[in-house]
Chain A
Amino acid sequence: MKNSKVYLDYAATTPLDGDVLKKMMPYLKDKYGNPSSIYKIGREASEAIDNARSEVAKFLGCKETEIIFTGSASESDNLAIRGLIKNLRRAKRAGEKTHIITTQIEHKAVLETCKDLEKEGIEITFLPVGSDGIINLDDLEAEIIPETDLVSIMYANNETGVIQPIKEIGRLIKKINKNKEHQVYFHTDAVQAANWLDCNVEELGVDLLTLSAHKIYGPKGVGMLYLKENIPLLPLITGGDQEWKTRAGTENVAGIVGMGEAIKQIKSPANSAGRRQSKIKIIEKLRDKLVAEVLIRVEGSRLNGPEDPKDKLPNIANFSFRGVEGEAIILSLDQEGIAASTGSACTSQALIPSHVLIAMGLSDSEAHSSLRVSLGKHTTLQEINYFIKILTDTIERLRKISGR
């Protein structure tokens, strides 16, 4: 098994699905027309985008006109936050406050965007989370002031798999909006949730929602923003009239086609609700076995995040191991053909450990010693068994070196 790849980093990215690639191929080769051109190959490209848009709209339970394709989920998050604020600010009186509420555990695409806006004088509240990684609804309600314009809270966390109560937040914001002079808009980054959780925008009560193609077995370089109709948003990339004049630039036709197909497969007839749930159950069982074995076999290990399975995605487990450092774990696993992730500073450019784990109250050394394992549709029991064996040996070896 040593030379084979055991990929346990599906939260980082997923392999491109074979059927998705097949659908994309014509648009990389023969059907190369520009969707804005009115002759045949242009129209073909434009129709292909329409079809993809319709698949995404079906998945989210929204209108086609509410879907904006972008170049990445990070771009979608930026467009949601900056695009909205840009427009709202133009409408405000001089000196009037702009306020955004987000959380301390967001993906950097949201977190850094908010920090950047903070430097421009926009007020940002970064909500804390409990040791389970979940925000407190009362905290959120207390932070909403008359000037609050936007709440941006992720659906499921990429490092821990912790799920935020998006439906409850949606309901709370609706209630508050009834008595509020100007509306609070609600954005969620649903990148990690898409494979597993209900993403119906009506059910969730969101106004803006971000998705990525490459986390759902689609291609890299495509993202999507759901933007509820009549929400005022200005483009960040100006130019042509593409994507309802909200995102200029000739469309990544093959990529968008790939995203449409990848979304379709999440809820395809072969993936009926019942079958989809049972496939999810299989992955959850593998994850639970992995967690149980690691906690039993590796002394001084802990699972980060909530106990209750309903509070977390079925495919992610985040551990800390006493007396070892995360990057050393990752490189040791890599030498045995296993791919996983860490929240240790040593793999980041900033040399600061995971902001998500720190927000959950972990110490620096616990965050440095963290390991994220994320499973996907190709994960097998054999891979999990191999991983457990190699991990046990790795931690033992590194502890001999650290003397801890």
Chain B
Amino acid sequence: MYNKKVIEHFSKPKFFGKIENPDIIGKAGNPRCGDLLTIYLKIDKKTSKIKDIKFETLGCAAAIAASDMICQLSIGKTLEQAVKITFKDVSDELGVLPPLKIHCAQLVTEALRDAINNYHPA
């Protein structure tokens, strides 16, 4: 069902957890489908690059792996670059997600975009 890469990111995610005093937070998901996720970001104010990023995900293996992947893809990028990450980028980077799990990749990009939309630097 899942390839090795998905299982790897599910079993040993690198970016899970919470950032204390994050600059921005993004959320996505609903209890009906079972996936709920929050993404925390620290932004370098001068360069508007993502300095640090973490996730908390209540969800299936694909949702956890996709959360980890979007953090990996976006860390070090500027917000302008990060907002362009698509669910296909996440899915491709994980190898192949089963068709029923593509919505997990959509969910994590939604959360990241939600966060970026919430960014209003002083």
Contacts and interface: CB of A to CB of B under 8 A. Distances in A.
Contact of A346 (B13, B34, B56): B34
Interface in A350-404: 351, 353, 363-365, 368, 400-404
Interface in A292-333: 323-328, 331-332
A401 B61 contact: no
Contact of A401 (B13, B31, B100): B13
Q: Point out which of B34, B36, B64 has the most chain A C-beta atoms below 10 A from its C-beta.
A: B34
A144 B32 CA distance: 34
Interface in B56-86: 56-64
B16 interface: yes
B17 interface: yes
Interface in A334-361: 335, 344-346, 349, 351, 353
Interface residues of A, number: 24
A46 B17 CA distance: 65
Interface in B79-121: 100
Contacts of B100: 349, 351
A328 B18 contact: no
B48 interface: no
Given A327-B61, A400-B17, A403-B18, A364 B56 contact: no
Nearest to A324: B58
B81 to A, nearest CB: 26
The 8 A-B residue pairs with the shortest CB-CB distance, nearest first, are: A403-B56, A346-B60, A368-B34, A402-B58, A327-B60, A401-B16, A365-B31, A331-B61
Interface of B: 2, 7, 10-11, 13, 16-18, 31-36, 38, 56-64, 100
20 contacts: A323-B58, A325-B34, A325-B59, A328-B10, A328-B60, A328-B64, A331-B2, A331-B10, A331-B61, A335-B11, A345-B34, A346-B59, A346-B60, A351-B100, A364-B34, A365-B31, A401-B57, A402-B57, A403-B38, A404-B56
